[in-house]
């Protein structure tokens, strides 16, 4: 029997009862001793249109009570092979954008300093910038630029909005490339679609070497062909995985601020995530779940399920690292 943290036994306490934590795991005050830290980032101060992702972590905690203990395809039982817990929400500031970003970076820095791999739930996509800063500064990533596998409807590499504001959920990866946190030649974006502000909006990202796999190309090539390229692009070096829930078609995930029709199915997303075994992942997140636009919690359920898929990949990585 393992001494790792375990979810509350659903056969003893029904899944609708008890404290609301990620995966019904214990809530802990520190990431000390954890292999993987589940983190909430309830902040949507970077949202340019329909806010609401600040409510994401709480509702994903609720829907994550539907997750069970083992993955039915890979057979991975994450709580048997890694020590995992809910470390709570990072400190945020809902009325000051720059202070909000710096609080998130500080909070995440404390978590990654323990050696725990962070798996976080936003929050809007700007939350990924301070998380990447923290991960990149940690010894684990060795301050080398990270690769990134990015599921999204949007490239999020715009320059500025509203008179030169450089920090919004449409700009995080431009900033991260400029700051040397991400290696653009090892970034791949999947599912990009929808109208743009202007023709050539993605030219800057492409000129840096970012590989953009538009939804139309994904639909033509399919999961396996696309993932073979994705794995080739990121290689064996440190890589971050970020999953914007608006990559999923809004018929399956309506609760998000910037929905775009014609998106990934949840099944396609699962098939892709299950191919991430062996990628050197230094952290991952799920962002842009906005419960105020949701219907019956279905988008938070998508978020919680994607989180479980990623958790199984990360736990397997912990197991392999330990064996190495
Ligand atoms: Mn995004």
CA distances from 284 to 120, 148, 176, 192, 213 (A): 7, 10, 15, 19, 20
Domain contains 196: yes
Residue 140 has pLDDT above 70, yes or no: no
Both tokens of 136, joined, read 């990149």
In a domain, 211, yes or no: yes
Residues in the 5 Å CB sphere of ion ligand 1: 125, 152, 154, 156, 244
> What's the chain's average pLDDT?
96
CA of 192 to the centre of ligand 1 (A): 10
**CB-count exposure of residue 219 (10 Å: 0-12, 13-18, 19+):** middle
CA of 205 to the centre of ligand 1 (A): 14
* Structural domain contains residue 2: no
Per-residue pLDDT band for 324 (boundaries 50, 70, 90) equals: confident
In this prediction, residue 214 carries a pLDDT of 98
Q: Is the pLDDT of residue 1 over 60?
A: no
222 is a domain residue = yes
**Tens-digit pLDDT profile for residues 17-70:** 999 999 999 999 999 999 999 999 999 999 999 999 999 999 999 999 999 999
Is 15 inside a domain boundary? no
CATH number of the domain encompassing residue 66: 3.40.800.10
The confidence score (pLDDT) of residue 144 equals 84
Going along the chain, which residue ranges are E strands? 36-41, 84-89, 117-122, 146-151, 182-192, 211-214, 239-244, 281-287
Tokens of 247: 């990559």
User: How far is ligand 1, taken at its centre, from the CA of residue 7, in Å?
Assistant: 30
Q: How many domains does the chain have?
A: 1
Ligand 1 centroid to Cα of residue 193, in Å, is 11
Residue 143 has pLDDT above 90, yes or no: no
Residue 86 inside a domain? The answer is yes
d(CA 201, CA 166): 15
Residue 4 lies in a domain: no
**How many angstroms separate the alpha carbon of residue 151 from the centre of ligand 1?**
8
Residue 138 pLDDT grade (very low, low, confident, very high; cuts 50, 70, 90) = confident
The C-alpha atoms of residue 82 and residue 35 are separated, in whole angstroms, by: 6
**pLDDT tens per residue, range 261-300:** 999 999 999 999 999 999 999 999 999 999 999 999 999 9
Is residue 17 situated within a structural domain? Answer: no
For the full predicted model, state whether its pTM sits above 0.75: yes
| 127 phi and psi angles, rounded to 5 deg | -60, -25
293 CA to centre of ligand 1 in angstroms? 16
pLDDT at 77: 98
Distance 153 CA to ligand 1 centre (A): 7
Taking the centre of ligand 1 as the mean of its atom positions, its distance from the CA of residue 204, in whole angstroms, is 17
**Residue 284 structure tokens:** 């991952």
What is the whole-number distance in angstroms between the Cα of residue 286 and the centre of ligand 1? 10
pLDDT of residue 2: 73
163, 181, 248, 264 from 136: Cα distances, Å:
29, 6, 28, 29
3-class state of residue 96 by DSSP: coil
Q: Does the pLDDT of residue 139 top 80, yes or no?
A: no
Identify the weakest region by mean pLDDT among 32-46, 139-153, 192-206, 227-241.
Answer: 139-153
Distance in Å, CA 83 to ligand 1 centroid: 29
Q: In which domain, by residue range, is 267 found?
A: 22-323
pLDDT confidence tier of residue 142, bands split at 50, 70 and 90: low
């Amino acid at each position: 029997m393992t001494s790792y943290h375990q979810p509350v036994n659903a056969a003893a306490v029904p899944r609708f009862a008890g404290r609301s934590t990620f995966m019904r795991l214990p809530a802990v005050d520190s990431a000390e001793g954890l292999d993987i830290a589940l983190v909430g980032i309830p902040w949507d101060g970077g949202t340019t249109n329909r806010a609401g992702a600040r409510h994401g972590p709480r509702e994903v905690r609720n829907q994550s009570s539907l997750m069970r203990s083992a993955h039915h395809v890979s057979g991975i039982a994450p709580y048997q092979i890694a020590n995992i817990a809910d470390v709570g929400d990072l400190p945020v500031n809902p009325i000051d954008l720059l202070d909000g970003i710096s609080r998130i970076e500080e909070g995440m820095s404390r978590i990654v300093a323990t050696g725990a791999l962070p798996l976080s739930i936003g929050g809007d996509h700007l939350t990924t910038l301070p998380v990447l800063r923290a991960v990149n500064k940690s010894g684990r990533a060795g301050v080398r630029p990270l690769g990134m596998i990015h599921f999204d409807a949007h490239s999020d590499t715009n320059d500025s909005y509203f008179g030169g504001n450089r920090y919004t959920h449409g700009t995080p990866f431009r900033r991260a490339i400029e700051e040397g946190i991400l290696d653009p030649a090892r970034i791949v974006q999947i599912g990009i679609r929808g109208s743009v502000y202007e023709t050539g909006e993605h030219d800057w990202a492409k000129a840096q070497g970012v590989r953009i796999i538009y939804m139309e190309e994904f639909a033509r090539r399919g999961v396996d062909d696309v993932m073979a390229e994705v794995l080739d692009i990121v290689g064996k070096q440190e890589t971050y995985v970020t999953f914007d829930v608006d990559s999923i078609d809004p018929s399956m995930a309506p609760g998000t601020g910037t929905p775009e029709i014609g998106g990934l199915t949840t099944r396609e997303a699962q098939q892709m995530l299950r191919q991430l075994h062996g990628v050197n992942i230094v952290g991952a997140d799920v962002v842009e779940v906005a419960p105020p636009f949701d219907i019956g919690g279905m988008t938070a359920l998508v978020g919680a399920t994607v989180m479980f898929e990623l958790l199984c990949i990360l736990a397997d990585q912990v197991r392999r690292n330990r064996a190495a």
